[in-house]
Amino acid sequence: MDNINVSRHISGKFNEELEAVRNQVLNMGGLVEQQLRDALHAIEKHDQELAQQVLERDYKINALEVQIDEACVQIIAKRQPAASDLRLIISIFKTIADLERIGDEIERIAKVALESFNNDHQQFLISLENLGQQVLSMLHGVLDAFARMDLDAAYDVHQMDAQADRQYEAVTRQLMTYMMEDPRGIPKVMNVLWSARSLERIGDRCQNIAEYIIFFVKGKDVRHVSPESMERTVRGKRD
């Protein structure tokens, strides 16, 4: 764990426990990323079987959250971590909570692939897929940043959310316009709208994880601070 600036300990077992729980988070993140990738592919290819597989695999994400949560509690009880070790445990607690909620949002997205859409609706699905690829890039980036506890990479992902928000707003306007022009299509279009909202929320969750990385590396809580304050924290001298 030297590469993420976690202090070494007299107890080699402590190091092993921290490394094991960090690897569990990475496994959970990898599963969540694959779930999102598969959900988007299912929409693109109208693959209902793949969408159903995504829905059935969600329990694995929930199980990993519980396992990691229990492992962190055990570390706190046995080791009473302090300083950067405690920040790491706190960051992990928060990260797995957001990953589990991302999994819930992916379920909603996968359900779109179970719907039947006519040719008039294809433009909305394409817009949804474009937003999905942007958010998938954010998720991949923030998981990579977590693996390396890379401050700059985390900040870059945090900044990407503004673009995802703009794409979400454009999709929303497009869908609202269509529903006003053709009320008969409202039920199906609403499913696409809720999926777009889920993607936007996943982008927000990625921002959250980026903030936890910054908290671990810098020891400062950057939630709800101004963009200028966050940039000073990230770009300033490291602790």
User: What's the rounded Cα separation, in Å, for the pair 146 and 95?
Assistant: 9
- pLDDT for the residue numbered 145: 98
The domain tally of the chain equals 1
Task: With both helix axes pointing from N to C terminus, report the angle between 12-45 and 122-148 in degrees, rounded to the nearest 10.
Answer: 170
Task: Tell me the pLDDT band of 11, cut-offs 50, 70 and 90.
Answer: low
- pLDDT for the residue numbered 178: 86
Please state, in angstroms and as integers, the Cα–Cα distance from residue 215 to each residue in 36, 150, 201, following that order. 26, 11, 21
Structure tokens at 43: 């929409």
Give me the chain's average pLDDT, please: 91
User: What's the rounded Cα separation, in Å, for the pair 30 and 49?
Assistant: 21
Q: What is the pTM of this model?
A: 0.91
Residue 1 in domain: no
User: What's the rounded Cα separation, in Å, for the pair 39 and 47?
Assistant: 9
Where in 59-105 does DSSP place strands (E)? none
CATH of the domain at 68: 1.20.58.220
What average pLDDT does this structure show over 212-223? 94
pLDDT in tens, 66-96: 999 999 999 999 988 888 899 999 999 999 9
Residue 48 in domain: yes
Residue 231 in domain: yes
Task: Tell me the pLDDT band of 9, cut-offs 50, 70 and 90.
Answer: low
pLDDT in tens, 132-157: 999 999 999 999 999 999 999 999 99
Where in 182-225 does DSSP place strands (E)? none
- pLDDT for the residue numbered 29: 98
Residue 184 in domain: yes
The amino acid at residue 71 is A
Burial of 138 (0-12, 13-18, 19+ CB in 10 A): buried
Its domain, for residue 185, covers: 6-235
Residue 220 in domain: yes
pLDDT above 70 coverage of the chain, percent:
94
pLDDT in tens, 144-190: 999 999 999 999 999 999 999 999 999 999 999 988 888 887 888 89
Residue 120 in domain: yes
pLDDT of residue 2 exceeding 50: no
